[in-house]
Amino acid sequence: VRFCNESYTTSSTYGNHTWPSTSGSYAVLFCNFCSGYVIRFCHSTGWDAPIYSQCGGLAGGTLVIFDVINNFSFVRESYTINQRYVIVLICGIHGSSSPTREEFKWFDSNGNEVQNLSEFINSSFTSTNDGRRLLNGGFSIADFKGLYSHHESNVAYLVSYLDFDRKDDFILPGTSISGTYTCRSLCRHHSQEISLNTRDPSGPFSQFFFRFTAFFANISLTDVDNKDYKLAVIEANIFQLAVVRGFNSTINPIRTISCHFVPLMEEDGTCDRVECDVREYPPNSSFVEVVPRSINTFIFNAKNSELKSIWSIVMSVTGFCNQSQTESLDFGNHTWPESVGNTILTMPCGNRPLMNVTRMCQTNGVGWENPDYSQCETSTSENETNRGTFQWPVTPVESLVTVFLSPSSSYFTTSSQVILPSTSFQAISSVSSAAVPSSSYTAIHMSPSPTVSQDICVSETIVNDRGTFQWPVTPVGSLANLPCPHGPIGARAIRQCRRNGVWDTHDISNCADPRITAEFASIADTNVTVENVVEVAQNLSEIVMLASQTGDQNENNLQNVSSLLIQTANLFSSPEIIIMLSTEEVFMTTERTIEILNSIQEWPPHVVATQSNNIVQSFERIVEALISQKNFTKLTIIKATIAFQGLRVQRTDFSGITFVGSSLNNSLSTETLTSDLKSSGIKELDLATISLPASISNETTAVDINLAFTLYTQSTLFPIRDSVPDTVVGSSVISASVDGIPDGTVLSDNVTVNLRIVVE
């Protein structure tokens, strides 16, 4: 008969247990120090020894702490990290005989358990039916900047805010996380104490600022519907994945980031505007070159689709000033646009429109100085009073300006300056007059040879591929800035007025989306080969489509497009290389090239004109390679503004052919007709036709005649050379090529072209 009497056991590791009497086969009690059970079997001969395996009963192993961020390095008694860097420490048993079940917890210096991350997240948000999370009342971003504990099987984490279920959802810690923390194994009573310290940035530093505009509602890095929370997550991602990527967070240099919302500009509408201040301690000259590029690349990278709602990124090493308004009863109200640091802006005085009020945007994010109204103030010197007040009328440049005095006036003038409507400065000649008769008047006239002031740079208008820039009168030694005419939103061009009153070359690099510019520059470095030609054409087509804003449709970007098309054409023109490509690869490259031409036709004509010959000739060489492919039969490609057709006809069957390009409901269509079916003239829906005579077959001995036709509904790629003003191409452009017949061949019969005139 099996029966075990009540029994008492004690263990220095697992504590004391009282076992009740039982006639069963075993008894079960809870472990004293961790979750799990102690089991003790009852036999006819009495109790067996307790089994503590679920209480951490296996021997061996050591409690250790790892730094996950820095290559899982061991953490000893002291751990120092750069201020506001991401923290992920993990503790657990390290050794060959780890326990079956083990529980670890982190405690602060007061013996309190560090706030549980999962519990904190659950209490911070409320989920909605559409999959969003709302921040609960009473919570602010400051609540997410502490340290938290997170438990998994056999390990415990001490982390800055990090949602383990949403890998991109993390926030940088605050500045008050230093202290003593203890990781404790509850089952074994093992513990490891560390002193956590932060290395605070101090002393000189390198610095740059960047601003961007975004629709925060569309940013999907996090599902939390709160702008402050989203900004904190964006800040952390940019910092961790672009600013300090690959850095050891426990040693110098120290880098920091601080982002905040700034006022919108008028053109920003309903979106949001953010400024970030990025620094490195101690100073490093390469920092302001490398890191801004890294940030641009990170945000633009196609893998980071969660940030696609960010645009108009503007970088500045001197900081920014927000859009601002000033009011003056004497000199008028002025709206000062967002500007970069170390820039002096000028605006007409409200009381004296030909004079300027100036205002300095200070460096390093300090903000605006007070407006300087000195030019707006009316002089009251004794000399001025004795001569009276002179009101200078609006006058054309280099014209005479006359001031009529009262018959009894007499005066003497010295050289002075006035601002003409062109805002250029010119000198008044020295003229004297004394004892003017009562019936006489004296005139002051402009010098016929204007003298440029050394105190200012005169106004100047420059027109280029980024727009029209009207540079205002600017004091020497100052930076003028203008909004980019074609965007991006908030971007500005800058120009230095040198000490000798001469303008420096303007900097319009911001007048294009830096992300798109970086993509063009990156792909331009590609060496086109047999292995990557299709991929390059595909990527180039996608980048050209992205350049939908006029500022991005500039000569630099077009030069990169032209360079890659020339490389592709050179590759296709090599007989040794073209046979290494399949017909499908040639088809795909041709279609991507047509997509590129289709997009470029929407670019400004004066920009396209700089590369139009290279682009069209490269396309024609690619087409020549296409129709000469061994397995080629026919290919038709139709885009919004270009229709292409290539086909192969046996020479013995060739009796002439007509290519027709038509438009119906704003869509292009093509057809090819044999000479027996073609009709004369041009039909109502036809944009253009071209007919090749049957006698073409006499110009070649090849078995097949390879043909290619292209219709361009816009003439952007075909600029008029040396044309009279206001002259445009009044029709579509159509072309035909026949493989194997050299240019300049005299045909026995005519080629007939019909073009519909487009009335503007």
| CA 216, 217, 220, 222 torsion-angle sign | positive
pLDDT greater at residue 561 or residue 94:
561
So what's the pLDDT on residue 542?
A: 92
So what's the pLDDT on residue 142?
A: 93
Whether the pLDDT of residue 710 is over 50: the answer is yes
Is the peptide bond prior to 204 cis by the omega test (within 30 degrees of 0)? Answer: no
* Tens of pLDDT, residues 77-89: 899 999 999 999 9
So what's the pLDDT on residue 218?
A: 78
Mean pLDDT for the stretch of residues 443-453: 36
pLDDT band at residue 680 under the 50/70/90 scheme: low
So what's the pLDDT on residue 432?
A: 32
Give 433: exposed, middle or buried? Use CB within 10 Å, 0-12, 13-18, 19+. Answer: middle
**Domain 62-199 belongs in CATH node 1.25.40.10:** no
Block residue for tokens 């002439």: 656
Look up residue 235 and give its two tokens. 């800040």
pLDDT band at residue 56 under the 50/70/90 scheme: low
**Reported CATH class of domain 633-760:** mainly beta
Whether the pLDDT of residue 567 is over 50: the answer is yes
* Tens of pLDDT, residues 502-517: 888 888 877 888 788 8
Residues contacting residue 446 through CB under 8 Å, at least 6 positions apart: 398, 399, 400, 401, 426, 428, 429
Q: Percentage of residues in the chain with pLDDT exceeding 90?
A: 34
Block residue for tokens 């991350």: 117
Is the peptide bond prior to 475 cis by the omega test (within 30 degrees of 0)? Answer: no
Long-range contacts of 561-565 (CB under 8 A, 24+ apart): 561/520, 561/596, 561/600, 561/611, 561/615, 562/611, 562/614, 562/615, 562/618, 563/524, 564/523, 564/524, 564/526, 564/528, 564/536, 564/540, 565/593, 565/596, 565/614, 565/615, 565/618, 565/619, 565/622
Q: Are the C-beta atoms of 150 and 116 separated by less than 8 Å?
A: yes
| C-alpha span between 560 and 552 (Å, rounded) | 12
Whether the pLDDT of residue 399 is over 70: the answer is no
Q: Is 396 helix (H, G, I), strand (E, B) or coil?
A: coil
Q: Are the C-beta atoms of 136 and 124 separated by less than 8 Å?
A: yes
Whether the pLDDT of residue 115 is over 90: the answer is yes
User: Alpha carbon 633 to chain centroid distance?
Assistant: 44
Look up residue 751 and give its two tokens. 């080629």
So what's the pLDDT on residue 269?
A: 62
Look up residue 681 and give its two tokens. 């003239």
* Tens of pLDDT, residues 225-277: 999 999 999 999 999 999 998 888 888 789 999 999 998 766 556 788 899 99
Whether the pLDDT of residue 443 is over 60: the answer is no
| C-alpha span between 160 and 85 (Å, rounded) | 9
Mean pLDDT for the stretch of residues 700-717: 89
Q: Are the C-beta atoms of 52 and 66 separated by less than 8 Å?
A: no
Other beta carbons within 10 angstroms of residue 20's beta carbon come to 10
Which H helix or E strand runs over 737? strand 733-738
* Tens of pLDDT, residues 10-33: 987 778 999 999 887 888 998 876
pLDDT band at residue 675 under the 50/70/90 scheme: low
| CA 365, 370, 376, 379 torsion-angle sign | negative
CATH of domain 206-317: 3.30.70
So what's the pLDDT on residue 303?
A: 46
Whether the pLDDT of residue 404 is over 70: the answer is no
| C-alpha span between 220 and 234 (Å, rounded) | 10
Longest alpha-carbon distance in the chain: 149
Whether the pLDDT of residue 401 is over 60: the answer is no
Please report, for residues 67, 155, 267, 306, 328, the alpha-carbon distance to residue 261 in angstroms, rounded to integers and kept in the order given. Answer: 33, 39, 16, 19, 28
Ramachandran region, residue 206 (left: φ > 0; alpha: ψ -120 to 50; beta: rest): beta
So what's the pLDDT on residue 254?
A: 95
Please report, for residues 413, 523, 553, 564, 593, the alpha-carbon distance to residue 561 in angstroms, rounded to integers and kept in the order given. Answer: 61, 9, 11, 5, 10
So what's the pLDDT on residue 95?
A: 61
Global model pTM greater than 0.75: no
DSSP 135-149: EPTT--GGGGSSEEE
DSSP 415-463: --EEE-TT--EEEBPP-EE-S--TT------B-SS----SSEEPPEEEE
Which H helix or E strand runs over 386? helix 382-387
* Tens of pLDDT, residues 179-197: 999 998 876 567 889 999 9
| CA 566, 568, 572, 574 torsion-angle sign | positive
| CA 671, 674, 676, 682 torsion-angle sign | positive
Q: Percentage of residues in the chain with pLDDT exceeding 70?
A: 83
Mean pLDDT (the chain) is: 81
| Phi and psi at residue 76, to the nearest 5° | -95, -145
| CA 505, 508, 514, 519 torsion-angle sign | negative
| Phi and psi at residue 405, to the nearest 5° | -100, 165
Look up residue 636 and give its two tokens. 């038709």
Other beta carbons within 10 angstroms of residue 608's beta carbon come to 21
| C-alpha span between 413 and 387 (Å, rounded) | 9
Q: Are the C-beta atoms of 469 and 484 separated by less than 8 Å?
A: no
So what's the pLDDT on residue 181?
A: 96
So what's the pLDDT on residue 709?
A: 92
* Tens of pLDDT, residues 286-332: 898 889 888 888 887 744 566 767 877 888 888 888 888 999 999 99
Range name among 61-70, 145-154, 717-726 with the lowest pLDDT average: 717-726
pLDDT band at residue 723 under the 50/70/90 scheme: low
Residues contacting residue 440 through CB under 8 Å, at least 6 positions apart: 407
Degrees, nearest 5: CA angle 99-105-55: 30
Residues contacting residue 717 through CB under 8 Å, at least 6 positions apart: 597, 600, 601, 608, 612, 615, 616, 733
Most confident of 256-265, 680-689, 751-760: 256-265
Q: Are the C-beta atoms of 512 and 489 separated by less than 8 Å?
A: no
DSSP 273-335: EEEEEEEEES--TTHHHHHHHHHHHHHH-TT-GGGTTEEEEEEESS-EE--EEE--TTT--EE
pLDDT band at residue 670 under the 50/70/90 scheme: confident
Mean pLDDT for the stretch of residues 646-660: 89
pLDDT band at residue 365 under the 50/70/90 scheme: confident
Mean pLDDT for the stretch of residues 712-721: 86
Block residue for tokens 């340290």: 147
Give 31: exposed, middle or buried? Use CB within 10 Å, 0-12, 13-18, 19+. Answer: buried
Whether the pLDDT of residue 563 is over 60: the answer is yes
So what's the pLDDT on residue 281?
A: 94
So what's the pLDDT on residue 439?
A: 31
Q: Are the C-beta atoms of 449 and 427 separated by less than 8 Å?
A: no
Whether the pLDDT of residue 678 is over 70: the answer is no
Other beta carbons within 10 angstroms of residue 268's beta carbon come to 17
Whether the pLDDT of residue 379 is over 70: the answer is no
